[in-house]
Amino acid sequence: PDMEENAKHIFDACEFLEALYQNDQLNENFGEVSHEFMYHAPCHLRVQGIGLPAMELLKLVPGVKVTDADAGCCGISGNYGYKAENYNLSMKIGNTLFDTVKASGVDTVLTDCGTCRAQIEHGAEVKTMHPISILAKAYHNTN
């Protein structure tokens, strides 16, 4: 199979949903989710140059307030930060993000990456969720 051709059809979940939105194909019947969140864009999504599709989608949900952390890497780097010998450096790399989250006062950070979620929960001591969870809640809250 032609891998370059296949790659054209592979998307991040929020990237896919934002494309549906841009083409007027996304169900925008969202119920209210009254909450303030901070969003952390994982490094692997930033380097893809796709923008911040999760934030764009979250702005469609009534009651959601979302702020881009824009505070760099969380420090986990795949499995790098899970290794005992890398722990201190991993946490040091993530400190700017952790401090930004703590200073914001939010109780929940949204990010598309599972390892980022684990690192942020540990370093910033807040709840984390995937942005899709908020969209699911918004769909569930429609009456």
Classified as helix, coil or strand, 14 is helix
Which amino acid belongs to residue 84? A
Classified as helix, coil or strand, 108 is strand
- pLDDT tens digit sequence for 90-102: 999 999 999 999 9
- Listed residue (25, 35, 55, 29) closest to 139, CA to CA: 29
Mark the ranges of the chain whose per-residue pLDDT is less than 70: 1, 143
- pLDDT tens digit sequence for 56-80: 999 999 999 999 999 999 999 988 9
Strand-pair partners of 128? 109
Q: Where are the domains of the chain?
A: 61-143
Q: Are 122 and 93 in contact (CB under 8 A)?
A: no
